[in-house]
Amino acid sequence: MNHTLCPKCGKEIEKLYDNVCKDCFFENIVLAKLPLVLHVKTCAKCGARFDRSKWVNMGSVDDIVIQSVEDALSIHDLAENIEICIKPRQLTPYMYRVHAEVDAFIKDEPVHQELNTEVRIVREACDMCSRISGGYFEGIIQIRATNRVPTSDEKKRCIDIANEVVRRMQKKGDRLAFITDSIDIKDGADLYIGSNNSGRHICRAIIEQMGGSFSESPSLFGQKDGKDVYRITFSMRLPEFMSGDIIHFKDKAIQIKNIGKRTVGIDLSTGSRFMATTDEMKGATRIASMEDAVMTVLVAVEDDAVMVLDPTTYKTVTIKKPVSFMAQSGSEIPVIKTEYGLFALSGEHA
């Protein structure tokens, strides 16, 4: 076996580590370094952490403390297969004592080091919360409906969709995705939003789930860094018709079942499926609602027709039998009477 002498200490060794023995090589190796005190800036309201000159969304305070210590750890360049264990201990609501253990391999030799630090939490308002408290907004979403007033349920659903959109955008790191204010007015609702980008996402999400359309109207608000800054009014228009409406369209009575990107319904005369976009439904008129349905006596059932008592004249009339019709003669069934005729409703429609 070949031996050599360490040029630094003179020890006889079998293997050199950068031209010195193992002891001489590792006596000056520091596996990890950590400041004795760390100051971590967090938002008192939303819990965001200020990191590398910007605010980022984080989890609990413990998560922030652990991440801050991990970020502050300086590991030797030669270290491989690094394992870090960080154990925070809360001393006060704003002070933590943290013990860190680092294991790694340097030159195929295992190295272990333990370190301690103190993390001090500094609480202040982040950029997003400061803007919200100051009433900052870049755009307004005006939620209205075509040729009618939105219902309370529709307005609530729009606001719920908007809140979900901004939550998703904030989770992805968009600090301007927020709603400053929500105002309920007679004709609908106005949402004051932190960014025009979030405004577009909200309007598209509402259309995806509830149908409708929107347009943008920019107005010059001021200048920032020498560039013009615009506030945009988003005119969000919900569809003219709602689920449960009975409309007259191309000589057909259609019961609206679902509103979204497309309007889906049932032709009450034939029972066939109806589907159309908003643009394709120009000329449609509302003639009744499912709330207008009344119960009447079913006199007889034939192959493709049923005989019922007209709820107004009490005369027996023959009308088209609806799809999935299961009622028996002598029972009561729901019907809709319109200026275009009388229509029986199956259990599916009622």
Amino acid at 92: T
DSSP letters of 47-83? --EEETTEEE----HHHHHHHHHHHH-EE-TT-EEEE
* 285 and 221 in a common domain: no
The answer to whether position 145 is within a domain reads: yes
Tens digits of per-residue pLDDT, 271-320? 788 898 877 888 888 988 888 889 999 999 888 888 999 988 889 998 88
Chosen domain end from 238, 264, 281 = 238
The answer to whether position 309 is within a domain reads: yes
Model pLDDT, residue 281: 84
Tens digits of per-residue pLDDT, 48-92? 899 888 888 877 889 999 999 999 999 998 899 999 999 999 999
**Does the pLDDT of residue 346 top 70, yes or no?**
no
Question: Cβ–Cβ contacts within 10 Å for residue 173, how many?
Answer: 11
* 272 and 217 in a common domain: no
**Does the pLDDT of residue 118 top 80, yes or no?**
yes
The answer to whether position 23 is within a domain reads: no
Model pLDDT, residue 303: 81
Model pLDDT, residue 328: 84
Q: Specify the higher pLDDT residue, 13 or 195.
A: 195
* 308 and 274 in a common domain: yes
Model pLDDT, residue 233: 96
Model pLDDT, residue 39: 94
- Cut 0.75: pTM above it: no
* Parallel, antiparallel or unpaired: strands 227-238 and 139-145: parallel
**Does the pLDDT of residue 224 top 80, yes or no?**
no
Tokens 């679902």 sit on residue? 258
Phi, psi of 203 (to 5 degrees): -60, -40
The answer to whether position 14 is within a domain reads: no
Model pLDDT, residue 1: 53
Model pLDDT, residue 187: 92
Model pLDDT, residue 195: 92
Model pLDDT, residue 35: 95
* 234 and 139 in a common domain: yes
* Total count of domains within the chain: 3
Domain CATH code at residue 103 = 2.60.40
Question: Could you give the CA distance from residue 76 to residue 25 in angstroms, rounded to a whole number?
Answer: 13
Question: Could you give the CA distance from residue 142 to residue 250 in angstroms, rounded to a whole number?
Answer: 32
- For residue 66, give its domain range: 31-125
Whole-number average pLDDT of the chain: 88
Tens digits of per-residue pLDDT, 20-54? 888 888 888 889 999 999 999 999 888 889 988 88
Question: Could you give the CA distance from residue 18 to residue 77 in angstroms, rounded to a whole number?
Answer: 15
Q: Please give the order of strands across the beta sheet that includes 95-106.
A: 54-56, 49-51, 37-43, 109-124, 95-106, 80-92
Among 112-116, 205-209, 296-300, 337-341, the minimum mean pLDDT is found in: 337-341
Using pLDDT thresholds of 50, 70 and 90, give the confidence band for residue 348: very low
**Does the pLDDT of residue 253 top 80, yes or no?**
yes
* 219 and 156 in a common domain: yes
Using pLDDT thresholds of 50, 70 and 90, give the confidence band for residue 349: very low
**SS3 of residue 92 by DSSP:** strand
Question: Cβ–Cβ contacts within 10 Å for residue 282, how many?
Answer: 8
Instruction: Measure Cα distances from 300 to 78, 168, 313, 330 in Å.
Output: 90, 55, 18, 8
Question: Could you give the CA distance from residue 213 to residue 279 in angstroms, rounded to a whole number?
Answer: 10
What average pLDDT score do residues 342-347 get? Answer: 74
The answer to whether position 39 is within a domain reads: yes
Among 92-101, 191-200, 316-325, the minimum mean pLDDT is found in: 316-325
The answer to whether position 148 is within a domain reads: yes
* 181 and 120 in a common domain: no
Model pLDDT, residue 345: 76
Q: Residue 257's closest CA among 269, 273, 270? A: 273
What average pLDDT score do residues 13-26 get? Answer: 82
**Does the pLDDT of residue 350 top 50, yes or no?**
no
* 234 and 163 in a common domain: yes
Chosen domain end from 65, 99, 125 = 125
Burial class (CB in 10 A: 0-12, 13-18, 19+), 45: middle
Amino acid at 182: S
